[in-house]
Structure 1
Amino acid sequence: MTGLCLGLAGLVWASLPLQQFTLAWQHSIEKIRWEEDYQVTSSGLVLGEARVRGSGAGMEIPDGAVAFDGAWHYHRQLPPLQPLHVGRTPEAGDYEICSPWGCKELAYWLGPPDAAQPAVDLWACELPVIGNNKSH
């Protein structure tokens, strides 16, 4: 089964049995929430819809974005990301992974952001099969 791995340089620090998730964060200066929806596929992470709740310094609303429900909604055409590399420092705050079970900061799995380890990768990976699914 394909799931989501978190780590760096191919070293898995945590793995999550997710087929889709939202990556969310606050802009470090403007304190405006950004959200990106991803599908986890065998080719990598496929970006679907993205949302931003406002604009400000270095936060231009993308061309073609449509405003509704308090956010600008847009789509970008990108190839599957394998991996998705994100910066993670104490000064900037943490990312959240949201799923049908709620939102949790990366710190839940990885510990708090640390200046000595200022990045993390997210990628699609094969999760170990647990249990025996054979029919008798």
Structure 2
Amino acid sequence: MLGLCMGLAGVVWAELPAPSFTLAWTHTIEKIRWEEDYRVTPSGLLLGEARIKGSGAGMEIPDGAELREGAWHYQSHLPPLQPLRLGRTPEAGDYQLCIDQRCRPLGDWVGPPQADRPALELWSCETGSGAG
């Protein structure tokens, strides 16, 4: 089954049989929430809609975004990401991974952010087989 793998340099730390997910985080300086909806495809993680609750330093509202329900909604036109690389540090807090509208910190699957492991990669993979 196609799903989501998490780890670094191709080494799988965790895998989830999720066909889609939302990645969410709070900007460390502006304290504004971002959310990005991804679909897991054989080519990689395809970013669909994204939402941001405001603007600030390094957080410009993208062209074509629409304000709905207190957040700016916009569509991405990026090719599939394989892998999606995330920076994680103890000082910045953690990302949230939301599946079926239930959000949990990424640390629930891969441990808390650590200074000696400042990155995490997400990619599409066959889950349940140990393949990455």
TM range (shorter): over 0.9
Give the CA deviation at 1:101: 5.8
Higher Rg of the two aligned structures? 1
Aligned to 1:72: 72
Structure 1 residue aligned with 2:108: 108
Aligned to 1:85: 85
Q: Name 2:55's counterpart in structure 1.
A: 55
Q: State the 1:110 CA deviation.
A: 1.1
CA distance in 1, matches of 2:94, 2:87: 9
Identity %: 67
CA distance in 2, matches of 1:73, 1:7: 29
**2:45 — aligned with what?**
45
- Give me the TM-score of the superposition, normalised by structure 2: 0.95
- Distance change (3 Å), C-alpha of 1:34 and 1:91: same
Change (3 A) 1:101 1:22: closer
> Deviation per CA, 1:8-47, whole angstroms, max 9, x where unpaired?
0000000011000000000010110000000001111000
Displacement of 1:98: 0.3
Which runs of 5 or more residues in structure 1 are unaligned? Answer: 130-136
Q: How much has 1:128 moved relative to structure 2?
A: 2.2
Deviation at 1:105, TM superposition (A): 0.4
Q: Which runs of 4+ in 1 moved over 4 A?
A: none
Q: Does 1:29 align with 2:16?
A: no
